[in-house]
Amino acid sequence: MVLQPSERHYRDWNHRRLGPWCSPTGSPAPLSCETGCGEGSWILVCRLLVPTQVNLLSMEEDIDTRKINNSFLRDHSYATEADIISTVEFNHTGELLATGDKGGRVVIFQREQESKNQVHRRGEYNVYSTFQSHEPEFDYLKSLEIEEKINKIRWLPQQNAAYFLLSTNDKTVKLWKVSERDKRPEGYNLKDEEGRLRDPATITTLRVPVLRPMDLMVEATPRRVFANAHTYHINSISVNSDYETYMSADDLRINLWNFEITNQSFNIVDIKPANMEELTEVITAAEFHPHHCNTFVYSSSKGTIRLCDMRASALCDRHTKFFEEPEDPSNRSFFSEIISSISDVKFSHSGRYIMTRDYLTVKVWDLNMENRPIETYQVHDYLRSKLCSLYENDCIFDKFECVWNGSDSVIMTGSYNNFFRMFDRNTKRDVTLEASRENSKPRAILKPRKVCVGGKRRKDEISVDSLDFSKKILHTAWHPSENIIAVAATNNLYIFQDKVN
Amino acid sequence: MEVQKEAQRIMTLSVWKMYHSRMQRGGLRLHRSLQLSLVMRSARELYLSAKVEALDLETPSTPTRCPPLSPEPMDTQEDEEEASPRAAETLARCSAHPARVGRKRRSSSLSNGVDAGLVPSKKARLEEKEEAEDASSEVPDRLLPPPAQAEGAFPNLARVLQRSFSGLLNRGPTAPPTAPPARDAKPVCRPADPVLSVLVRAVVAF
């Protein structure tokens, strides 16, 4: 699907209609320095909501931007389930931000360029490109529908003018090329201006077609489709630091692909037991080391992480390192096994540490120490006594992601009630913030939130029982070099920025 | 008693979730099914241990019917008759050892000549279940027959699950459990757990 907005059109439109977003709302409120301030103070840059397909069709030319951030949309919920954001990812420079949703759509946002006139406008992200990445499919052999939900998006490092990203659903990985076109050839000999063929008899002179500028067009084309390699549901993809290969992981297997070859892949991990009755764990996430192209890790549903070296053997069933923390017997409960399942694993930018997220905690591991993590952070320990209810409403199966900041000093993860948490590894301070519509004034400073566990509830605190478990922040992303974060709350994408930035 | 009720409720809930996960778009999720089966197993063990404690306090007078856990082929009828006194005896002794022994015996049969021998017994069990009036509290056993019948199993499973639900809801826990596999700390013994293997088989069948 080709989107044809002009860049200038975006900006003008933003000036006219998105005024309230651009200008600061007077002097910011003084920051309350109560406990858990964490990382400075955060302000809302913009809240983005891409309309549904239905709206797109009815709008014809003036496509997305008009309705984005419009209070009209804010009040009327056009959100359908297909709009629920399922993955968020900055590219390597942070200029682009990609989101995937349950409807199989990928929306790419681009950062507003800095300009002297509108210094305060910098940091806003606007829609750059929208395309339908995956469609629902049907597996005839198994009589199963294959969801089009985008599970993961991973950017490739930029090597020319075009941008490349990988997007995957449960079964198929696709390589997309996103490129700009701002020139158009004019003056063909055999075709007229509308593209109709001219009668050769009428051609009396020859001319050389010239390139003339046109309105900026951003188009996305699928360059490769990597299909039919996974029996189970793909949960992760990771681009290798050699930029030639990438891996895709499902519940039981991990495959290594070359970007150029779509009809073959190497199986590098296979934990499927010969007898499926003996199945005890599945792969939940996998990632390549950021610098060593031979190293990768994968996490399991049992709370363990395995580091593998592809130089050791073709099939990396035997791990090089095995990270597992012995279980605390005092915490043993009915649902211990479920909550110890790791939902996300991420290498630090330095490559020295890995971070894992299970249901209640985030842990940082040193690659050189396998027997326990070096840091453990409680995300929402007050839920430990509520596991039974969370099992009933299926929340206990939620897969939260976690992210590092650019300098690996702060880690962030989501929680319920649209809360998300940041932990500063150096100062050991943490903060809970909320991504909510009520606090959606532009440039508004986010107030730290606090959950009251028991006893007396102070003002501004929320009790555990009034948390909204349908509002969960599963996907977040941190700009690679600046303090800008993207937080996905259902169908809304919030972009926050550090005030000092 | 509370613990028992709670465990049973969770078991029922787990089976319901498993059943419903079939209807989901995208098909059965292996990870989710595994987690559900783990919870089911924990609930079952909790239930069984609670039952053991409860029976410790009172004399087991009700005629006990051992729910068909055993994969031993063609022995269902005899198994039940034998198993009841055995189960009662085990429970009364409240010791894990005979339980383990009992389980080991069964698991060894499981490892020998698995599939061919299992199929006829499963069919027999399914028919027998349809005839039998009092439902066992061991819901996972309901999953025993259908998985072996793979392709044609879906309508059967649905029917069986529905019946087992109504059975569970209508009746309290009348039947005592079999000698439960003791909950080992290490997951190594998991392959020998017939219930879990059955559940996983159910998962795989889909």
Span A137-176, pLDDT tens digits: 998 988 889 999 999 999 999 999 999 999 999 999 999 9
Pairing label, strands A410-414, A450-452 = unpaired
Average pLDDT score over residue span A240-260:
97
Query: Who wins on pLDDT, A194 or B102?
Result: A194
Average pLDDT score over residue span A71-98:
77
* Predicted-assembly ipTM surpassing the 0.95 threshold: no
Token pair belonging to B96: 């894990």
% of chain A beyond a pLDDT of 70: 83
- A332 in reach of chain B (CB within 8 A): no
For CA atoms B175, B179, B185, B191, give the dihedral sign.
negative
Token pair belonging to A478: 């941190």
Query: Who wins on pLDDT, B24 or A485?
Result: A485
**Alpha-carbon distance A286 to A316, whole Å?**
13
**Alpha-carbon distance A100 to A15, whole Å?**
27
For CA atoms A42, A236, A153, A101, give the dihedral sign.
negative
In this predicted structure, which of A211-225, A407-421, B107-121 has the lowest mean pLDDT? Answer: B107-121
Angle at B99 between CA B96 and CA B101, to 5 degrees: 110
Query: Who wins on pLDDT, A402 or A41?
Result: A402
Tell me what pLDDT residue B60 has: 53
**Alpha-carbon distance A216 to A179, whole Å?**
10
Residue B128 pLDDT more than 80?
no
Span A85-113, pLDDT tens digits: 999 999 999 999 999 999 999 999 999 88
Tell me what pLDDT residue A50 has: 66
**Alpha-carbon distance A364 to A423, whole Å?**
11
- Other CB atoms closer than 10 Å to residue B194's CB: what's the count? 22
Residue A73 pLDDT more than 70?
no
Pairing label, strands A461-463, A450-452 = parallel
The average confidence (pLDDT) of chain A is 84
Which residue, among A455, A457, A493, A461, has the nearest Cα to A474 in the 3D structure?
A493
Asked if A239 contacts A156 with a C-beta cutoff of 8 angstroms, the reply is: yes
Confidence grade of residue A344 (pLDDT, cut at 50, 70, 90): very high
The sheet with strand A295-300 has its strands ordered as A283-288, A295-300, A305-309, A321-323
HSE value, Cβ hemisphere, 13 Å, CA-based, for B16: 14
% of chain B beyond a pLDDT of 90: 11
Residue A30 pLDDT more than 80?
no
Count contacts between A and B (CB, < 8 Å): 76
Average pLDDT score over residue span A56-73:
40
Between residues 20 and 59 of chain B, which touch chain A (CB distance below 8 Å)? 25-27, 29-32, 34-35, 38-39, 42-43, 46
Asked if A255 contacts A247 with a C-beta cutoff of 8 angstroms, the reply is: yes
- B204 in reach of chain A (CB within 8 A): yes
Nearest CB neighbour to B34, from listed A142, A149, A279: A279
Asked if A149 contacts A87 with a C-beta cutoff of 8 angstroms, the reply is: no
- Facing residues of A186 across strands? A210
- Residue contact A144–B27, C-beta within 8 A: yes
**Alpha-carbon distance A135 to A122, whole Å?**
35
Chain B nearest-CA distance from A269, in A, is 17
In this predicted structure, which of A118-122, A288-292, A343-347, B19-23 has the lowest mean pLDDT? Answer: A118-122
Tell me what pLDDT residue B111 has: 39
| Secondary structure of residue A425 in the 3-state scheme | coil
Helices (H), chain B: 2-23, 30-57, 76-93, 96-111, 114-131, 145-148, 153-170, 194-205
Residue length of chain A = 501
Residue length of chain B = 206
**pTM of the predicted structure, to 2 decimals:** 0.72
Between residues 170 and 199 of chain B, which touch chain A (CB distance below 8 Å)? 187, 190-191, 196-198
